[in-house]
Amino acid sequence: MEPCDTYVGNPIKPMREKTDVLQGTLALMVLKTLDVLGSQHGYGIARRIEQISGDLLTLNQGTLYPVLLRLNKKVLLPQNGAPRR
């Protein structure tokens, strides 16, 4: 079988290797994003973190929303989404 030189997905933006983030780091990135930008929806938080990382990180709902729920449960994040100081 010969090697294949075609890209899967967007040919302009080839897939990158999966980047692992240490546990707790995403929570800190979420809190910092909310501290800088103020109240945001989950989608806005995810896109901002992706933008800041230079698209090295890709966040989806299954990654982000459990973190938001944990922060909310720990009372670090009120219902309106702005971090407590």
In sequence order, which residues have a C-beta less than 8 Å from that of residue 51 and are 6 or more positions away?
none
pLDDT at 19: 57
Spatial distance between the Cα atoms of 69 and 26, rounded to a whole number of angstroms: 13
| Residue 48, both tokens | 């901002």
pTM beyond 0.75: no
In the chain (85 residues long), the average pLDDT of successive 10-residue segments reads: 48 54 84 92 93 88 89 72 57
| Residue 79, both tokens | 């219902």
pLDDT at 20: 63
pLDDT at 7: 44
pLDDT at 78: 60
Burial call 41-79: b when 16+ CB within 10 Å, e when fewer: eeeebbebbeeeeeeebebeeeebeebbeebeeeeebee
pLDDT at 52: 92
